[in-house]
Amino acid sequence: MYNSVKIIIGLIIFVGLMAYPIWSSVGRPGPAPELVLTEKAKAAKVCIEETPWMKESHMQLLDDWRNKVVREKERLYTNNEGRAYNMSLTNTCLDCHSNKETFCDRCHDYTSVRPYCWDCHNVPKGTNDGQRP
């Protein structure tokens, strides 16, 4: 086996080149999904809180709302600007963000999150049944 060193070096180079797409993108997420806002959300121009905060903390907000509504019977949420909102996923959030597939599901699928909102709440009309494979 006079060529065994050359074969081993060739195999190492081949495996390295074939694995390049995998190890070159480790730790780097793909592009974030484009969210499709409804006309009502576009017209409102603002959400309950600032958009970056809502992207990061909306689930905590919804958990807090649930606890306050169910346990403390509070119904109004006042944001940092002093505006009051009804604490309701269905009547407040889904009023502007009514298309679950193009708004909720895109980010949740991108981050591999399976929220349990739809265990209790109705899925907005015109969208999927709330169940994912």
* pLDDT by residue, tens only, the chain of 133 residues: 678 899 999 999 999 999 988 888 777 777 888 888 888 888 888 899 998 999 899 999 999 999 999 999 999 999 989 999 999 988 888 888 888 888 888 889 988 888 888 888 777 665 444 444 3
Question: Which residues, 6+ apart, have CB-to-CB distance to 108 below 8 Å?
Answer: 114, 115
Residues, the chain: 133
Residue 126: its pLDDT value, please?
A: 54
pLDDT of residue 132: 41
Instruction: Report pLDDT for 83.
Output: 92
- Structure-block tokens of residue 119: 């265990």
| Burial 23-60, CB ≥16 within 10 A → b, else e | eeeeeeeeeeeeeeebeebeeeeebbbeeeeeeeebee
Give me the DSSP letters along the chain.
-TTHHHHHHHHHHHHHHHHHHHHHSTT---PPPPP---HHHHHH---SS-HHHHHHHHHHHHHHHHHHHHHH---EEE-TTS-EEE--IIIIIHHH---TTTTHHHHHHHTT----GGGTSPPPTTS--S---
The closest alpha carbon to 105, from 73, 131, 67, 77, belongs to: 131
